[in-house]
Amino acid sequence: MTEPFDPQAEANAALERVLASQWQGMPAVVLRSPPGAGKTGVAQRVALQSATMLGQRCMVVTQTNEQAFDLTRRLAGNAQSLPIYLFAKRDLALPADIESLRNLVIVHDVASLPQHPSITISNAAKWSWIKTTEPCFDLQIVDEAFQLPDYRFQLISNLAPRHVLIGDPGQIDPFVNCEIERWRCNPAGPQVSCPAALVKRHPSVLQLDLPISRRLNPDTVSLVQPAFYPNMPFRAMSQDRSVHFPVAGIMPFDAALDAVAAGASIVMVELPAQITGEADSELAQELVASISRLLRRQAWMSDDGRVLKVTPDKIGVVCAHVSQVNAARELMGPEMADVFVETANRFQGIERPFMFVHHPLSGRADATAFHLDAGRLCVMLSRHRIGCWIFGRQGIHQQLIRFSPAGDRALGIDDDPEYRGWRAHLTLMAALTQTGRIFAGVNGLTPLPLAQLMS
């Protein structure tokens, strides 16, 4: 008899494998994580084990100051008897709650770095200014490692003899603002993410996967995993996630809201086909009208046993371009001030119970590598905990067929990012179509003033 699947036991077993690798003295570990699997929590546990149980000096590398602040809050709160060091430049403005942490020690120069078992946090840019031929730490943990290009990793890898690289391989690739043609034939080139480059150089590196997403529900996983993680199976924690509408739907676009309430966590709203370019005022109006309708129907959400009213701060809007972000913001009145509207790049690491997505291919006459990027769409469709509505123009499926990738690859490179993105988009659109999750939009045909929608 097969025992029932226990997602918590699977998650705990994966964490134990990661922690055990440190007792075994593994020189390097690459830990791949699906969206919302708690990779920052794993980084925190590895750091605490390193400092408190293995007696090591541990450095933690983040990609931004905001991520460093978040990790500092979590570590300082969970280990109040342990000093947590923040390595920062002297003129960096720190949040008030960071400065008030009792067990936080702020250091500004190499001479002030701790020489005893400890945890020190900073971003990759700050770490790269250290000039030394001798390791300053025993262990280096890189959080969100798949966003760190290998050339930046090489600037800091000498600071510790052992490394743990933790990240999500399905997110947006590292941004490199220089010409990379000379390295295109190098699968471990400096433009490649540091975990991928490390594995190419040293195939024997220990690679582990986190098998459970704590954020995404089973329905979302059934769509996101085949499209964006075909070689990395994972499952959901299967917690109670739902939305309930006390007020019945009577408007045409209520159908898309009701579909999420019925259990379809990702649905699409299509407006009539039209080439609009980046900014699409009708689509932005449809999107904002749907947010308004979600709030006006007095929705309640259940999130892991907590029943809460749906308020603007529980809603996010994600777009590919800043112009699309501005178009949505301009239509939102003061009552929607707490709705978080940003580009996919800035939404990485952020989640909301409900997400509204401007499809990157909507309204375009082409399908460029930027708009086909699998990581960008993956970020957009993996920020929600309960429901996600995609907004776009009709004809995206035909657009994908018309602009299928040419298949050009650099010699010696097996991966084709453009094809990977094209396949992910096509897989998603096919799944939405086959499961009846595509609904016709109406606001694009009959634009309504926002004041009337909010009345």
What is the arithmetic mean of pLDDT over 335-354?
93
Residues 252 and 366 in one domain: yes
Residues 123 and 104 in one domain: yes
Q: Which of 139-143, 301-305, 313-317 has the lowest mean pLDDT?
A: 301-305
Residues 260 and 142 in one domain: no
Q: Among residues 211, 243, 262, which one ends one of the domains?
A: 211
Residues 222 and 196 in one domain: no
What is the arithmetic mean of pLDDT over 284-295?
94
Helix 417-434 with 218-228: angle, nearest 10 deg: 140
Give the pair of three-digit tokens for residue 55.
Answer: 């007696």
> Does residue 7 have a pLDDT over 50?
yes
Residues 197 and 255 in one domain: no
CA atoms lying within 13 Å on the CB side of residue 25: 0
Q: Among residues 159, 192, 211, which one ends one of the domains?
A: 211
Q: Which of 43-47, 89-93, 138-142, 340-344 has the lowest mean pLDDT?
A: 89-93
Q: What is the pLDDT of residue 414?
A: 67
| φ, ψ (nearest 5 deg) of residue 315 | -120, 140
Q: What is the pLDDT of residue 179?
A: 66
What is the arithmetic mean of pLDDT over 22-50?
95
Residues 268 and 413 in one domain: yes
Q: What is the pLDDT of residue 410?
A: 62
248 burial level (CB within 10 Å; 0-12, 13-18, 19+): exposed
78-112, pLDDT tens digit by residue? 888 899 999 998 888 889 999 899 999 999 999 99
> Does residue 304 have a pLDDT over 90?
no
Q: Among residues 211, 228, 243, which one ends one of the domains?
A: 211
165-187, pLDDT tens digit by residue? 999 999 888 877 666 666 666 66
**261: in domain:** yes
**19: in domain:** yes
Q: What is the pLDDT of residue 182?
A: 64
Q: pTM of the prediction?
A: 0.89
Q: What is the pLDDT of residue 412?
A: 60
Residues 305 and 237 in one domain: yes
Q: What is the pLDDT of residue 450?
A: 37
> Does residue 446 have a pLDDT over 90?
no
Q: Which residues contact 413 (CB under 8 A, 6 or more apart)?
A: 184, 185, 187
Q: What is the pLDDT of residue 441?
A: 84
Q: What is the pLDDT of residue 79?
A: 86
> Does residue 120 have a pLDDT over 50?
yes
**2: in domain:** no
Q: Which of 11-15, 104-108, 147-151, 364-368 has the lowest mean pLDDT?
A: 364-368
Residues 246 and 173 in one domain: no
> Does residue 449 have a pLDDT over 90?
no
CATH number, domain containing residue 245:
3.40.50.300
Distance CA 450, CA 118 (A): 54
Residues 89 and 231 in one domain: no
> How many domains is the chain partitioned into structurally?
2
Residues 164 and 222 in one domain: no
Q: Which of 219-223, 249-253, 406-410, 432-436 has the lowest mean pLDDT?
A: 406-410
Q: Which residue has the tokens 């760190």?
A: 148
SS3 16: helix
Pairing of strands 84-87, 162-167: unpaired
> Does residue 400 have a pLDDT over 80?
yes
Q: What is the pLDDT of residue 87?
A: 95
**169: in domain:** yes
Residues 233 and 140 in one domain: no
Distance CA 197, CA 134 (A): 23
51 band by pLDDT with thresholds 50, 70 and 90: very high
Q: Which residues of 180-209 are buried (b: 16+ CB within 10 A; e: fewer)?
A: eeebeebbebbbbbbbbbbbeeeeebeebb
Comparison of pLDDT for 169 and 409, the residue scoring more:
169
**183: in domain:** yes
418 band by pLDDT with thresholds 50, 70 and 90: confident
Give the pair of three-digit tokens for residue 285.
Answer: 């109006």
Residues 192 and 96 in one domain: yes
378 band by pLDDT with thresholds 50, 70 and 90: very high
DSSP 254-312: HHHHHHHHTT-SEEEEEEPP----S--HHHHHHHHHHHHHHHHTT-EEEETTEEEE--G
Mean pLDDT computed over every residue of the chain: 90
Residue range(s) defining the domain that contains residue 198: 7-211
Comparison of pLDDT for 450 and 221, the residue scoring more:
221
Q: Which residue has the tokens 């590398």?
A: 61
Q: What is the pLDDT of residue 249?
A: 79
**1: in domain:** no
**299: in domain:** yes
Give the pair of three-digit tokens for residue 271.
Answer: 């407006």
